[in-house]
Structure 1
Amino acid sequence: MSEDSFTETTSTGWFSRIGGAIKGIFVGMIMVVIAFPVLFWNEGRAVKTRKDLNEGAKDFVQVSADTVDPANDGKLVHLSGAAETPVELADEALGIRTKALVLKRKVEMYQWKQSTDTKTKKKLGGSEEKTITYNYTKTWSEGRIDSSNFKKPAGHENPSLPVTSSSWTASPVTVGAFTLSKDLVSKLNDYQPLTVAETTELPEKIAEREVKLSGGQIYLAKDTANPVVGDVRISYQQVEPSVVSLISKQKGSSFEPFTGSKGTTINMIQTGEHSAEAMFERAQESNKMMSWILRLVGFVLMFMGFSLIFKPLSVVADVLPIAGTIVGVGTGIVAFLLAAPLSLATISIAWIFYRPLIGIPLLLAAAVGIFFLVKKVIAYKKAQA
């Protein structure tokens, strides 16, 4: 792995920093405003999804993959069976053929990659010195990194790719008497490596580049052991025919997404034999995880927004760097103490709307948090008086 770097140092004056911080107030206000509907919407989404999954777990019909029963048309069904296809998938450009449900070609190029290391130092008087070190490393990376966006593109140019990543999906894919929809097939992600056999008839050249085979992968390179910028490495993955389990709406001898009474789409498929109960349980766990992720997103959005709103205070205090650091820590704490109860209050209000028995205690907890925050602020002002 080869690497080189260069360092750039810039200085920003105190007045420029104050101007930037004042502009940041408006960005922060927008972030805080956006955080409220994100948190509220997420709770509604979570409740509706949970209810639709619960309804689906009660109302689904267990069917056999061997025969299609017209009486189940339009109903949510669960079945397990062997997913198969009569067709052979092929990458015609390189002569790769396999009996698979999905075939994926991954193209990597040995190329320059830019990374940065930034260090900021506050100076007496409120100015700020920023030192950025740009590191350039040669590495294998999928696709082409646009070197024209590098800080120093000269000497780090990445050439164009003679071939790109791609994928192929078999059609039809059947499970017994049923044919899977394209949407369900696209959800299959149990990829296994496909080793290119030595007996594969590869083209001699692609875009005037010599084609070689090494370690089950295809190279467009002179020396596979010692790559140079522009060399290409191609590997394959496939989803093999296997037993699958699915929950979807039966439509004739195929399937389409089922929409619950609350608007949630149910259209699940997993590799292997799984009971409907296990699949619904997994979907509920995914729903819970997504709920917590979006709650964290909403809280972080609100916290960052308040941090930007209070940023001018620390910049003003940066005339004496240690004072600016202390004020920055203080405003960060205040931003957290505002974001936490306000996020909790928003979630609580959403739960009162969607789940009142849980939402009301949460709202009370948020109110207590805000009360103690206001009490602390009043006590601090009195101490300063």
Structure 2
Amino acid sequence: MPEKVCISDEFLVRDLVMSDTFTTSTTTGWFSRIGDSIKGILFGLLLIVISFPLLFWNEGRAVKTRKSLDQGSNEVVSLTSTTPDSANNGKLVHLTGEATTEQVLKDEKYNISTQALVLKRTVEMYQWQEDEKTETKKKLGGSEETITTYSYNKVWHEGRIDSSSFHKSAEYKNPMAAEQSQSLTADPITVGGFTLSDSLKSKLSDFTPLPIKPVGPMPETIVGKKVTVSDQNIYLGADPSNPALGDLRISYSVVTPGEISIISKQKDQSFESYTADAGGKINMLVHGNQSAAAMFEAAHQSNKVMTWVLRAVGFIVMWIGFGLLFAPLSVIADVIPLAGSIVGAGTSIIAFLLSLPLSLCTIAVAWIFYRPLIGIPLIVLAVGFFVLLIVKLKKARA
């Protein structure tokens, strides 16, 4: 088994080559770890600084979106006809009807043609993919060993995986993809007497697979590769049953004409985004027959989910930031690995107990600014967490 050893002032690196799996062992000295942890303090401070405006902005975004949706649900006019009425021009309208087009979409290169709202070509390339697994072990004296295992497998993947960032980029190099995915959208797409705007057309997403039925002869080779056609895809390569690096397979999917529901501002015989007083924009399209109430309810639920996701992100960013501030303490204690683990667990708990009330305070201040009746109770809750933190610190000192 070939072995490669490289030694530097700070650490030792050893690569063990085993088929398509490589294990790298890196040992970092105690003083180097202390230096790295001190450098991490600046990054930790940056994360903490970022977390406050992120949490505050998210609450403002949530309130603006909720107010805009509430205004929209109160003002929306549900149309009973797909014939434009000038009396509704400039109003927020809800419309359900059959989205149709007369245009035939065609991928000229492969002679694939169909009458559809959207035709999408998906190109996958057979290429290398790197998987990375890392395990860290602390050693007596404060040093730390990091064992990283890199494994390489050939997979079908849309687009090209950037192999320049691979650990073994020279040995596992992906070729450039000879073809690219692309999407064709019909123009115009109409619903009765209305024509969909580009922004609404971009929301068409109910794709179904399209069987491969070329409307003309398919060339024997494309981009220097043999062409094999099946019902599921077009294969570019020597042998579909034994793919080689750089082989391509191409499939198609379509959005067919069908019933859609729209909530948008009527602009003559078309639509544009509706801007509410709070500043939020409303421009919705869903597939199928849905009432205005159902569409607004779904939008409210989506807003709630996004709000909680961004709250979690802001809290975690702050928690990581405080963790980096306290990291030197656990590294110093790592002279005895068990002691370092205990100190690390303690600093993580303290970072959590600091981040939680500070996040709540930030959210509460934002709610006091945007919705005071909810913000004040949150302030009280945050103060309670601070009191709990102080009690725990006094017990720890004792």
In which range does the TM-score fall when normalised by the shorter chain? Answer: over 0.9
Per-residue deviation at 1:148? 2.5
Matches within 5 A, 1:116-135: 116-135=132-151
Counterpart in the other structure of 1:194: 210
Counterpart in the other structure of 1:330: 346
The counterpart of 1:271, out of the listed 281, 287, 293, is: 287
**Aligned 8 A contact 1:212 1:218 in 2:** yes
The counterpart of 1:303, out of the listed 311, 319, 324, is: 319
Per-residue deviation at 1:375? 2.2
Q: Please give the alpha-carbon distance, in whole angstroms, between the structure 1 residues aligned to 2:202 and 2:71.
A: 25
Counterpart in the other structure of 2:34: 18
CA separation of 1:65 and 1:201: change in aligned 2, threshold 3 A: farther
Per-residue deviation at 1:51? 1.1
CA separation of 1:174 and 1:199: change in aligned 2, threshold 3 A: closer
* 1:99-150 CA-partner distances (Å, limit 9, x unpaired): 1111111111111111111111111111111111110101111111122322
The counterpart of 1:29, out of the listed 33, 41, 45, is: 45
Judge which range, 171-180 or 222-231, deviates more: 222-231
Per the alignment, in what secondary structure is the counterpart of residue 372 of structure 1? helix
Q: Please give the alpha-carbon distance, in whole angstroms, between the structure 2 residues aligned to 1:65 and 1:194.
A: 32
Q: Please give the alpha-carbon distance, in whole angstroms, between the structure 2 residues aligned to 1:215 and 1:86.
A: 26
Q: Does 1:162 align with 2:178?
A: yes
Q: Does 1:369 align with 2:385?
A: yes
Q: Does 1:77 align with 2:93?
A: yes
Per-residue deviation at 1:65? 4.3
Counterpart in the other structure of 1:312: 328
* 1:25-82 CA-partner distances (Å, limit 9, x unpaired): 1111111111111111111111111111111101111124431111111110000000
CA separation of 1:198 and 1:102: change in aligned 2, threshold 3 A: closer
Per-residue deviation at 1:199? 6.8
Q: Please give the alpha-carbon distance, in whole angstroms, between the structure 1 residues aligned to 2:370 and 2:171.
A: 59
The counterpart of 1:282, out of the listed 298, 301, 316, is: 298
Counterpart in the other structure of 1:57: 73
Counterpart in the other structure of 2:160: 144
**Aligned 8 A contact 2:112 2:214 in 1:** no
**Aligned 8 A contact 1:95 1:203 in 2:** no
Counterpart in the other structure of 2:5: none
| One-letter code aligned to 1:334 | I
Per the alignment, in what secondary structure is the counterpart of residue 34 of structure 1? helix
Q: Does 1:153 align with 2:169?
A: yes
Q: Please give the alpha-carbon distance, in whole angstroms, between the structure 1 residues aligned to 2:82 and 2:305.
A: 36
Matches within 5 A, 1:83-232: 83-197=99-213, 201-232=217-248
Judge which range, 57-66 or 181-190, deviates more: 57-66
Per-residue deviation at 1:197? 2.6
Judge which range, 216-225 or 144-153, deviates more: 144-153
CA separation of 1:378 and 1:226: change in aligned 2, threshold 3 A: same
Counterpart in the other structure of 1:242: 258
| One-letter code aligned to 1:50 | R
Q: Please give the alpha-carbon distance, in whole angstroms, between the structure 2 residues aligned to 1:208 and 1:379.
A: 74
Q: Which runs of 5+ in 1 are unaligned?
A: none
Q: Please give the alpha-carbon distance, in whole angstroms, between the structure 2 residues aligned to 1:89 and 1:242.
A: 16
Counterpart in the other structure of 2:24: 8
**Aligned 8 A contact 2:110 2:214 in 1:** no
**Aligned 8 A contact 1:214 1:224 in 2:** no
Per-residue deviation at 1:257? 0.5
**Aligned 8 A contact 2:82 2:95 in 1:** no
Q: Please give the alpha-carbon distance, in whole angstroms, between the structure 1 residues aligned to 2:166 and 2:366.
A: 45
Q: Please give the alpha-carbon distance, in whole angstroms, between the structure 1 residues aligned to 2:381 and 2:373.
A: 14
**Aligned 8 A contact 1:28 1:304 in 2:** yes
Judge which range, 262-271 or 37-46, deviates more: 37-46
The counterpart of 2:369, out of the listed 323, 345, 353, is: 353
Judge which range, 39-48 or 175-184, deviates more: 39-48
Per the alignment, in what secondary structure is the counterpart of residue 19 of structure 1? helix
* Normalised TM-score (structure 1): 0.96
**Aligned 8 A contact 2:111 2:214 in 1:** no
* 1:348-378 CA-partner distances (Å, limit 9, x unpaired): 1111111111111111011011112112213
Per the alignment, in what secondary structure is the counterpart of residue 41 of structure 2? helix
Per the alignment, in what secondary structure is the counterpart of residue 390 of structure 2? helix
Q: Which has the higher contact order (CA 8 A, sep 6+)?
A: 1
Per-residue deviation at 1:210? 1.1
Q: Please give the alpha-carbon distance, in whole angstroms, between the structure 2 residues aligned to 1:108 and 1:379.
A: 60
Q: Which runs of 5+ in 2 are unaligned?
A: 1-18
| One-letter code aligned to 2:152 | Y
Count of paired positions:
380
| One-letter code aligned to 1:130 | T
**Deviant stretches of 4+, over 4 Å:** none
**Aligned 8 A contact 1:65 1:178 in 2:** no
Per the alignment, in what secondary structure is the counterpart of residue 319 of structure 1? coil
Q: Please give the alpha-carbon distance, in whole angstroms, between the structure 2 residues aligned to 1:23 and 1:328.
A: 17
